[in-house]
Amino acid sequence: MADKWMIRGVEYTNCNCAYGCPCQFNSPSTHGCCEAVTCGIIEEGFFNDIRLDGLNWALLLKWPGEIAAGNGKEQAIIDEKADHAQRGALTKILYGESTAPGSTHFFVFNSTMSEVKDPLFARIELSIEVDARKAKLNIPGIVESTGEPMINPFSGEPSSARINLPNGFEYTVAEIGSGKTKSTAEGLELDLDASHGQFNILHMNQDGVIR
């Protein structure tokens, strides 16, 4: 029998593109390459009979050119609280295994990789407030990221914007803000500041986004 899984929670992403990220609209990236961290809190989830509730995760991602051109590199980081079975299950989900082809961003990312590093298991301190467009990620010694609202340069007040992708393979609606990230992971170093921040509900299974 094929594996069955589901995760529901919140997700935060910071990439090197300008606010709005043209990749979300099938356009070339801002700088001709992509570097990103994406992370999430699983509020409820399972992989077959393995519960995944309450676990945090992160992915470090880097492509030398456009994502579709491939030759990328990725590494999953999984909550050290996960037991052996949970670690194996989350590794499969985050690396796009046990998933219908092309149906999730995890599958799509992995399909463009030339190097997939073994997952790390570490303490992941993470908070995400989707509506407030705020997030804090700290994986000691590996990566630190902060998400916050964009600031309107004319009024000095927080600015609100959304992306709606009715057929998206990651989310339906995402709140857009600003992100800042520093990663020292070998081969996946990141130094991002005031670049695209994305905050969304993540609800999907082996067949794609649940709407």
How many angstroms separate the most distant Cα atoms in the chain? 57
pLDDT of residue 1: 53
pLDDT (tens digit per residue) in 27-86: 999 999 999 999 999 999 999 999 999 999 999 999 999 999 999 999 999 999 999 999
Dump the DSSP string for 105-123: HHHHHHHTEEEEEEEEEE-
pLDDT (tens digit per residue) in 138-175: 999 999 999 999 999 999 999 999 999 999 999 999 99
Q: How far apart are CA 145 and CA 148, in angstroms?
A: 10
pLDDT of residue 192: 98
Q: How far apart are CA 15 and CA 30, in angstroms?
A: 10
pLDDT of residue 67: 97
Per-residue tokens: 167? 């057929």
The mean pLDDT value for 97-116 works out to 97
Domains of the chain and any CATH numbers: 5-206 (2.40.400)
Mean confidence (pLDDT) of the chain: 97
pLDDT (tens digit per residue) in 190-210: 999 999 999 999 999 999 999
pLDDT of residue 132: 97
